[in-house]
Structure 1
Amino acid sequence: MKKRFWIALAGLLLLTACASNRQAYDYTAFQTSNPASILVLPPINESPDVAASNSVLTNTVYPLAESGYYVFPVEVVKQAFRHNGLDVPNDIHAIPLDKLQEVFGTDAVLYITVTEYGTSYRVVQSGTDVAANARLVDARTGATLWTGSARASSNEGNNNSSGNIIGMLLTAVIQQIVESVADKGYDIASVTSNRLLSASVTDGILYGPRSPKYWKNQPKQ
């Protein structure tokens, strides 16, 4: 018993040391650029669900606006690209930065890739998962200002470690059906987007000029 205690304590101390030695995110380029407006491009979808790109895209406006940025209306931007024959996110992401800056007059461009999206069956537990990564780029210089990733799941906090196996299987099947029909992915995409694009999270974007927290408690250069 004592041996287990000391092993557990050593592991806890090791984790604490690793956390305290974690290097702070370098915001030098972000602070130098000091963007006020962000153009969000339609996300590239690497998941099998065709709804992923639009679902994540529509959920990006709120966290960015709450963080203090002007966000170009995503539907208007989509229509502008479509009017010019661009309807595929991969093609849109390939547009030169100077062209995007010329057309929209944006300070920064946000590139997002959805790596997971949708409801899946996992034998004794089904769930809806959404994961994405993002890169914010200065539209004038091409410098990368910030990168981040986030993930959310409908199973967070659930514990199915106990119970009848038949009941667990039935619950998993029912959960998969319900979450698929109800498009649970949209709700989980909202959680993922907030974790990814909110200035309040660790190593997230900085607060923008429209936020009362602008330049407050931000890292020094």
Structure 2
Amino acid sequence: MKSAVSMRRLAGLALCLAVTACATPLKAPDYTAFRAAKPRTILVLPPVNHTPDTKATNGLLSQMTMPLAEGGYYVVPVTLETETFRQNGLSAPDEIIQAPAEKLRTIFGADAALYTTITAYGSVYHVIDSNTVVTASSKLVDLRSGSVLWTGTGSATGADVGEMTGGGSIMGMLIVAAVKQVSNNLMDHSFPVAAVAADRLLKVGPPDGLLYGPRSVKYGTD
């Protein structure tokens, strides 16, 4: 009997320790360099695509300006940036990210550049279903000092934009999977998912997002 009681007490203690560990708050990012740099203008470089989908770079890049602008930053227009790089013989993201920071600052007048890598973009097919997934990570780099001011990741799936499923029947799931496979090959169904991923990736504000930009009414409150 005493042994059983002791075991229950040990189990209870272990549970308490586990709950305490789970409740421990995550360590807040270090914003010291970010606050010192006070970037006002951001250059969003074309994301490097590490997926088989050739639409990934443009699909995500076109969604990245809005969350930054709404967060209080001036963002170098993507069309201006793209044409400038093209005239200088640069079109591939892998080449563009090799450009010297000082050169980027001189040409575009930006305080910081956003470097992004896409690790998932498009439909992931299973036996009886498929799901659209977009995942990317970014780092904000000070073009004056080269310091990394912030890093983040963002991901979204088709469920975030109401992507249809086949319900509970096997036949229904097979039909939906077949329809999605055909339609995804004809158009970019990842585009709306990329919008959600971009919002999550470039969220502004606590606990771990970008700091509010100088055009935000919340500038300096974080």
Partner of 2:84: 80
Work out the CA distance in 2 between the residues paired with 1:80 and 1:87: 10
* Structure 1 unaligned blocks of 5 or more: 1-6
Aligned 8 A contact 1:44 1:114 in 2 = yes
1:21 aligns with 2:25: yes
Work out the CA distance in 2 between the residues paired with 1:201 and 1:174: 40
- Cα offset for 1:188? 0.7
Aligned pairs for 1:134-145 within 5 A: 134-145=138-149
- Cα offset for 1:81? 0.3
Aligned length, in residue pairs: 213
- Secondary structure in 2 matching 1:47: coil
Give the 3 Å change call, closer, same or farther, for CA 31–189 of structure 1 in structure 2.
same
Partner of 2:116: 112
Work out the CA distance in 1 between the residues paired with 2:51 and 2:100: 25
Give the 3 Å change call, closer, same or farther, for CA 176–15 of structure 1 in structure 2.
farther
> Structure 1-normalised TM-score?
0.86
Identity of aligned residues (%): 45
* Structure 2 unaligned blocks of 5 or more: 1-10
Residue identity opposite 1:131 in structure 2: T
Work out the CA distance in 2 between the residues paired with 1:175 and 1:161: 11
Work out the CA distance in 2 between the residues paired with 1:87 and 1:106: 19
Aligned 8 A contact 1:66 1:198 in 2 = no
> Structure 2-normalised TM-score?
0.86
Partner of 1:189: 194
Work out the CA distance in 1 between the residues paired with 2:86 and 2:211: 31
Partner of 1:53: 57
- Cα offset for 1:116? 0.7
What CA deviation, in whole Å up to 9, does each residue of 1:90-147 have, x standing for no partner? Answer: 1100011011111111110100111111123211221111110001000000000000
- Cα offset for 1:26? 1.1
- Alignment RMSD: 2.8
Residue identity opposite 2:105 in structure 1: Q
- Cα offset for 1:202? 3.8
Divergent runs of 4+, >6 A: 10-13, 157-162
Deviates more, 1:180-189 or 1:58-67: 180-189
- Secondary structure in 2 matching 1:199: coil
1:204 aligns with 2:201: no
Partner of 1:163: 168
Work out the CA distance in 1 between the residues paired with 2:17 and 2:187: 44
Partner of 1:178: 183
